[in-house]
């Protein structure tokens, strides 16, 4: 199974993405990928980055952890 990557961005980036999609603006879409998405992917590849690989085993924990906790859940 391949890695699972998550990208998050704020409200202004979400609005920008909506505008890009509505306008079907390919140049701005590529700029968005370069400025917003790609830097986050590269940052996540660095050793010790949070949520780098959600399928790797977690060492040094006193309980079994199969996956990182999903943010926003209160189960």
Query: What is the full per-residue pLDDT of the chain (75 aa) written as tens digits?
Result: 567 777 888 899 999 999 999 999 999 999 999 999 999 888 877 776 655 445 555 555 555 555 555 544 444
DSSP structure string for 3-36: --------HHHHHHHHHHHHHT-HHHHHHHIIII
Residue 25 confidence (pLDDT): 92
Interatomic CA distance for residues 4 and 20, integer angstroms: 25
Numbers of helices and strands, H then E, in the chain: 3, 0
In the Cβ-directed half-sphere of 33, how many Cα atoms lie within 13 Å? 6
pLDDT value, residue 65? 52
pTM score? 0.57
């Amino acid at each position: 199974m391949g890695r699972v990557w998550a990208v998050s961005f704020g409200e202004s980036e979400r609005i920008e993405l909506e505008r890009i999609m509505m306008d079907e603006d390919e140049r701005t879409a590529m700029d968005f990928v370069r400025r917003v998405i790609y830097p986050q992917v590269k940052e996540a590849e660095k050793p010790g980055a949070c949520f780098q690989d959600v399928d790797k085993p977690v060492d040094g924990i006193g309980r079994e952890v199969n996956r990182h906790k999903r943010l926003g859940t209160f189960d």
